[in-house]
């Protein structure tokens, strides 16, 4: 959601559309660079099937729900030093960096998607 919110497009008026658009952008990014991409959204799950991006929804509702799932994914990964977590949330960044992952701010990643 940090990447969606990194530019004022009115995404909050149609959150499902914003999620679909981001998933499509991530598909192009994954295909272009060959990177494995996982996105974790907050909120009620919607159909966002993708053959290039692993789409997940937070396992619970409430504050930091997606962040907790992301931190768990990093902790459980066999090679966390190979992961980059895109976030503008300093708390999440600290958690995943402590587990061995790298971080990239949402604005910087948005520029990569747009570039």
DSSP state, residue 38: E
User: Which pairs count as long-range contacts for 20-25, CB under 8 Å and 24+ apart, including other chains?
Assistant: 20/46, 20/48, 23/48, 23/50, 23/53, 23/55, 25/113
> What is the domain partition of the chain in residue ranges?
4-114
pLDDT tens digits, one per residue of 56-90: 999 999 999 999 999 999 999 999 999 999 999 99
Average pLDDT over residues 25-30: 95
pLDDT at 115 over 80: no
Reply yes or no on domain 4-114 having CATH 3.40.50.
yes
Which range among 24-28, 32-36, 65-69 shows the weakest confidence by mean pLDDT? 32-36
């Amino acid at each position: 959601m940090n990447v969606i919110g990194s530019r004022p497009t009115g995404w909050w008026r149609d959150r499902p559309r914003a999620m679909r658009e981001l998933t499509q952008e991530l598909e192009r990014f994954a295909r272009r660079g060959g990177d494995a991409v996982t996105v974790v959204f907050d909120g009620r799950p919607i159909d966002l099937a993708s053959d290039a991006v692993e789409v997940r929804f937070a396992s619970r509702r409430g504050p930091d729900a997606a962040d907790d799932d992301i931190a768990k994914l990093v902790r459980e990964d066999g090679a966390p030093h190979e992961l980059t977590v895109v976030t503008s949330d300093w708390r999440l960044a600290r958690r995943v960096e402590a587990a061995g992952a790298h971080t990239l701010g949402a604005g910087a990643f948005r520029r990569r998607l747009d570039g």
